[in-house]
Amino acid sequence: MQAVQAIVKEFACQFAFTDQKADDNGRLYSLTHPETGDNLSFDCSYHTLELSFGKEKTIHVLYQRFRKYFSALQEKLSSAGHLLTGMGINPYHPYQHYEPIANDRYRMLYHHLHAYKEYGDTFYHDIPEFSMLAAASQVQLDVQKEEIIASIHAFNLLEPFKAVLFANSCGWSRILARDYLWRYSSQGYNPHNLGMYETEIRNLDEYLDYIKSQSIYCVQKGDKYLHFKPIPIAEYIHRKSVTGTYFSGTGWKEFAFQPEVQDIAYHRSFKFADLTYRGTIEFRSACQQPVRDAFTHAAFHAGLAEKLPELTALLDEDSVLYHHGYNASELRELLTYREFPEFIQQKELSAVLLRILELAREGLAERGFQEECFLAPLFDRAETLRNPARDFLSGIEQGDSLKDWIFRYAELPEKNSYQKNQ
């Protein structure tokens, strides 16, 4: 830990990440560049490092900053016996000792996830520390008010296809284990809080009703960061009293408080496509990708957002996955496994994926920033119906070591691979 903290401090000095947050033990867990808004943080524990970026118009600008930050971190971490790699599940998770970052929020989250046994007879897995070992590739895109519902509809239908392209979290009999880990945790106590939309939302009023049906499970009152059994928002704001649990410094204690409308600021949902307070839609269903393909997910969504009517028409008319007795959520679940369901014609699935990628490429071309190059790895995946998880499993079966694939998925592409053509 001392070596990692020294590297983080050196990174902060090198790149002028001057806005810094430390945990209760004085360890830095979040650094932000005051001008770009770029952020380096540890997510839930000190086993997962996240790089996020401020708003920019082009993927190329973000990629060049990512490459600069990642290269500096990787060089320093590898010399200290650590490595950043691109996998949706920490490959060494069975050997790690998981503790939450020592601050109020992460301590609360850790305790909430471990409280699943108190939340009824719903099936829960026994891996409450999953948030410390799972990693995602997330992207936020600006959205106009009139396109919110259409975007949610189209990208919800797209989720089963994304499972084929982006799966990269092997474990628990699946190639996309992240879905399972989230769904059957206390975060999934209310299924409206995460995953896909099981109902068609036709307008903004219905979307607001859907948000009200989601549950709130934490709030801060003074210096107390509390969690409690999830309560639907529509019910929560009319409660006279709620009893939550908070960390007192020496142990967990109960505290009763009166809900207020402004508590909604602490509401956390984890939908695959979610409207945010920034005026963006956040897409969060893809596993972390191999480092060399880190921006495929962003390019995929940026391109398709430009071709929303065409994407909607393609998915509404699809008969390769749809119209076989399964809804979008059930299809996504089926495709988290390695074997394709028998009703799927694989050649036809490949053809539809290629059509979707062509739309994304056309959308990126219309943006005019020469970002189409970031999609290149996905075309190969669509043609072969391979993805990082399938490649990993095939390699292991052929005698490769886990370490081989950790290093392979930690590699940046050649320096000029994504250079903008001018």
Q: Which structural domain, as residue segments, surrounds residue 30?
A: 1-84
Residue 308 lies in a domain: yes
Q: Where does a domain end: 58, 84, 110? A: 84
Residues 378 and 417 in one domain: yes
The CATH number of whichever domain residue 276 belongs to comes to 3.30.590.20
Residue 1, pLDDT score: 86
Residues 71 and 165 in one domain: no
d(CA 386, CA 156): 22
Residue 421, pLDDT score: 42
Residue 122, pLDDT score: 82
Residues 177 and 316 in one domain: yes
Q: How many CB atoms lie within 10 A of CB 376?
A: 16
Among 339, 343, 297, residue whose Cα is nearest residue 321:
343
**Burial profile 9-44: b = 16 or more Cβ within 10 angstroms, e = fewer:** eebbeebebeeeeebeeebbbbbbbeebebbbbbbb
What pLDDT, in 10s, does the model give residues 96-133? 888 999 999 999 999 999 999 998 878 999 999 999 99
Find the mean pLDDT for residues 146-163: 98
Residue 107 lies in a domain: no
Q: Taking 70 as the threshold, does the pLDDT of residue 87 lie above it?
A: yes
Residues 91 and 79 in one domain: no
Residue 295 lies in a domain: yes
Q: How many CB atoms lie within 10 A of CB 391?
A: 17
Residues 163 and 287 in one domain: yes
Residue 117 lies in a domain: no
Residues 48 and 147 in one domain: no
Residue 120, pLDDT score: 83
Asked if residue 197 lies in contact with residue 271, where contact means CB atoms within 8 angstroms, the answer is: yes
Look at the chain and report how many structural domains it folds into. Answer: 2
Residues 413 and 325 in one domain: yes
Task: Report the percentage of the chain scoring pLDDT > 90.
Answer: 95
Residue 251 lies in a domain: no
Residues 49 and 91 in one domain: no
Q: Taking 80 as the threshold, does the pLDDT of residue 192 lie above it?
A: yes
Residue 207 lies in a domain: yes
Residues 360 and 379 in one domain: yes
Q: Taking 90 as the threshold, does the pLDDT of residue 419 lie above it?
A: no
Residues 286 and 356 in one domain: yes
Residue 416, pLDDT score: 63
Q: Calculate the average pLDDT of the chain.
A: 96
Q: Where does a domain end: 49, 84, 119? A: 84
pTM of the model: 0.95
